[in-house]
Amino acid sequence: MAPILLPMPGAEALAAAIAAALPGATLAELALRRFPDGEHHLRVGGEVAGADVRVVARLDHPDATILPLLFAADVLRDLGVRRVGLVAPYLPYMRQDRRFAPGEAVTSASFARLISRAFDSLVTVDPHLHRRRSLDEIFFIPTAIAHAAAPIGAWIAANIERPLVVGPDEEAGQWAREAARQAGAPCVILSKTRSGDRQVALTAPDLAAHAGRTPVIVDDIVSSGGTVGEAAGLLAAAGLGKPVVLAVHALIGEADMARLAPRIARLVSTDSVTHPSNAIPVAGLLAEALAASAI
């Protein structure tokens, strides 16, 4: 059954682009407003009873979005929707994937339980899977993942001469190695130790063989910019130029970006998170993942 895509506020253009790339898909509307006291009012426009509805939601800055998202899933069930799926190009809370100190919440698992109770399926772009190998370890609904490494590699091939792809840590290796393969470029992976939200220490292998190449850092997430900033410092110390940075999910805010900007040549990202650095669209990837998975 071709799905109806229902965008949450801020995801209208993304939902329309996915619908345009997904044969038979149509769009529905969710009107969301707040009462004077701040509580949400929701109204689904159009006929949805018996349909397969995919709620399309941007979940960066998730805390303000989650409650209306759960209300949306609930009202859809109440209106007789057959299956309620979630399409979220960025999946938040995935980095807290272990109890690092006694008593800490493992919010990736808590978040996964919350979403699994409300939705029948999840489609996302490159979730942060580090200590977990698969979303199935924490979600108990079917999931499908769209991968951005190939279009990132294609962007590098089209825009950078003699690139050296750099993964700033072993977690980023999965994206860096694949993007480098796509771009036909060499790849090096740095080692990272994190000591705080913004404090990381990196080490690099010998980079002498790559003199004259343009360094291109590929990472899944740029958040505080600490990792990329440190990597840029190491590359400069090795005699390489300022790096171009390719991120799947650009979460970095204005103040941190202002601190990072002098250290890099440019930040380029997919539009999984709306950001001034967006250059690589994910709608086609999400449409392919929706079409290819029978979830």
Q: List residues with catalytic annotation.
A: 192
Nearer to ligand R5P, 7 or 225 (CB): 225
Segment interacting with ligand R5P (CB under 6 A) among 31-39, 77-85, 214-222, 266-274: 214-222
Contact between 178 and ligand R5P by CB under 6 A: the answer reads: no
Interface with ligand R5P (CB under 6 A), residue from 225, 232, 275, 290 = 225
| Residue 169 engages ligand R5P in binding (rule: CB under 6 A) | yes
Token look-up 């996302």 returns: 124
> CB-wise, 23 or 196, nearer to ligand R5P?
196
Residue with tokens 């750099």: 166
| Cβ contact 29:44 at 8 Å | yes
Task: Tell me which stretch binds ligand R5P (CB under 6 A): 24-32, 39-47, 223-231, 275-283.
Answer: 223-231
Of residues 21 through 40, those in contact with ligand R5P by CB under 6 A are: none
- Residue with smaller CB distance to ligand R5P, 38 or 262: 262
97 binds ligand R5P (CB under 6 A): no
The first and second tokens of residue 181, run together, are: 């393969």
Return the bridge partners of 53, or none.
4, 84
- Tell whether residue 221 is a contact of ligand R5P (CB under 6 A): yes
Of 97, 120, 178, 220, the one binding ligand R5P (CB under 6 A) is 220
Figure out which of the listed residues 121, 214, 227, 270 binds ligand R5P, where binding follows CB under 6 A. 227
CA dist 41 → 36, 44, 75 (Å)? 11, 10, 11
Q: Which residue type, as a one-letter code, is found at position 235?
A: L
Whether residue 200 contacts residue 213, with contact meaning beta carbons closer than 8 Å, is answered with no
Closest to 83 in 3D by CA, of 109, 107, 49, 110: 49
In the bound state with ligand R5P, the residue whose beta carbon lies nearer, of 122 and 245, is 245
Nearer to ligand R5P, 11 or 245 (CB): 245
Q: Pick the binder of ligand R5P from 120, 178, 219, 271 (CB under 6 A).
A: 219
CA–CA separation, 149 vs 122, rounded Å? Answer: 20
Cβ of residue 198: shortest distance to ligand R5P, in angstroms?
Answer: 6
Our finding on whether 165 is near ligand R5P (CB under 6 A) is: no
Span near ligand R5P by CB under 6 A; candidates 42-50, 64-72, 138-146, 225-233: 225-233
Shortest spacing between CB 143 and ligand R5P, in angstroms: 20
**Binding of residue 172 to ligand R5P (CB under 6 A):** yes
CA distance 95 to 289: 23
Give 189-235 as a DSSP string. E-EEEE-SSS-EEEE----GGGTTSEEEEEEEEESSSHHHHHHHHHH
Alpha carbons 294 and 34: distance in angstroms, whole number: 36
Residue 102 buriedness (CB in 10 A; 0-12 / 13-18 / 19+): exposed
Reduced to 3 states, what is the DSSP secondary structure of residue 7?
strand
Chain residues binding ligand R5P by CB under 6 A are 95, 130, 168-169, 171-172, 200, 219-227
